[in-house]
A and B are shown apart, each in its own frame.
Chain A
Amino acid sequence: MDAFGMGLVAALGALATVAGASEDIESDVGSQSNPNSQVQLAAQVGNPHRIYNKAIAGEPPSNALWCATAAIMAYVLIQGYHMPLLFAAAAGASLAALFNGVMATSAYLGRNASQARFNQWVYLDIIRYTTPSIMAHVWITSFCIVLISIIQVYILTPHHPFPIPVIALIWGLTVGAVGSSVGDIHYGGEREFQWRLFGQGLNTMLSGQIVRKAEAGLRNSIDNAWFCAKFGGPCTGMGFGLTVFLDNWRTTVFDPVNQAGAAIAMGVFFVIVMNLYNFYCELSARRKYGPYPGYKGDIAA
């Protein structure tokens, strides 16, 4: 273990946290992934809306695509043209953002045009000012992931044997999986249905009845990003940051050649602590919200 290695691992954790947060906000401002099923459904049950509607793919495959695209360009610039690492990462991320802009626009136009029979309009102003925001978030995510891959391959010891695009593909898939599992709940469970009863899950009868009015005027996806950036985004960043940081920390502090057992035991320790923490969360949620008042069964709470 050396101070330089620990500094790099801390930088990896910080980059991963930023990547996770921006990934989640990108999926919120573009309305991608699981909660988008409600946005899609809303117009069909008589609630046309001004929320962006892009579900290019599930979050993990789409983010794997952006990050791998950025990493391939960065890899070519570094290996073929000997460009500086930071410049290569920035150029790669710009390419990924452009790809994303094309697909987001076509997804929005296609999805909303196909819902014309439900009185859902295509809003050109929404495309004009929401698409750049989506692209900007993709830029941040891909830039951070490519930098993580570059650090793992070129700087951090032991160097990772996979090439940069493969590592970026896997981290892109992972950040998408974390964003889809964590941040989506804040957007889908909290932001889309703000007037359901607090302390209980969402009744399926309310499907498609999403909130369409904002603090002022009609709600759009920029409002959703503003809200989700307060908790859903940071939580996603924390989830992905913990993954990258803890996984690299144990193999940096303990030499994988001589102390492989200690590195594995430390990982198991982290896992046990997280299991106990979730048990604490469960206990505190049960205590705070209590059983459903209208429950008529014979099983005691």
Chain B
Amino acid sequence: MTDTPQRTRPLRVLAAMSGGVDSAVAAARAAEAGHDVTGVHLALSANPQSFRTGARGCCTIEDSRDARRAADVIGIPFYVWDLADRFREDVVEDFVAEYEAGRTPNPCLRCNEKIKFAALLDKALALGFDAVCTGHYAKVILREDGTRELHRASDMAKDQSYVLGVLDDRQLAHAMFPLGDTVTTKEEIRAEAERRGLAVAKKPDSHDICFIADGDTQGFLAKRLGKAEGDIVDESGARIGTHDGAYGFTIGQRKGLRIGTPAPDGKPRYVLDISPVDNTVTVGPAASLDVGSLTAIKPRWCGAAPAGPGTYTAQLRAHGDETPVTAELVGEELRVRFTEPVRGVAPGQAVVLYDGTRVVGSATIAATERATADVA
């Protein structure tokens, strides 16, 4: 029940190497464990920048070179695979379309679902590899009955199981996360990289969205979707401001609303709703953000779909807290009811259900319902 793929027989492993420290250490650990490891850097941008700017992204020629140097030091073959077309279709265009529809997508999750553990994994398996290894912090546990479970990383602070919750049994069966058992600080991972002679030890962390090099998501969306002026209204429907495009907002957002007049009660206002149909953004007080339940679509289960309603904890965004819920699959929809109201639930994000540390499943949030007295 505690056996992980990396402790079983030697496998032919394809290590996805972004050029960052985590994936380099993961590949090194897989090789050290005796697996036959080949490193691959995914070229995801059709026109890569030559050099990395700031601490963002993994799509530059410099990152490719960093990955190559790490592979040299580990002593494994290394190649660059061009998945730019697939990435553009499945991740970037999906990202834009989701925002355009008034939702808030998670492109990292989409990349894991469609690229790393789909396009890349399928190609790897066809070429004779047994598994794809990444630097994610999560655990795959092989049960005695041969099925696999995805669990939170030993170190909750770095756990990335949320963005892996979309993986199904087959994908998990071929996933290897050598960092998942590590309870350690980032400094210790860096120290391990240093000890292994990996030059990426001192490289800044990548965060934000890799295909938006300057970190300006609003600017990126504006360029893609064009300026579309519309109204900002309050809960009564009264027009209290304008915006340059409803797609630029996220439920729960407070900053950047540019509303000249304060609310009557002087309290801050938040984005409550985004309506792409009439290009309107509704704002209101924090209390109106309270959500009592949600409906999610496209459920994916790690293992069998649960029969009947169950009690779980749910995570609603990357790095978000857990909250207790009851959830039930009704037809193709997942209905989730919060024990306590939660704030700032954005359609488009994933709801990932956990049973303790175990990932039960994941679905895409489609709609939320306000908390009412009887829910709380």
Whether both chains belong to one complex is answered with no
Interface residues of A (CB under 8 A from B): none
Interface residues of B (CB under 8 A from A): none
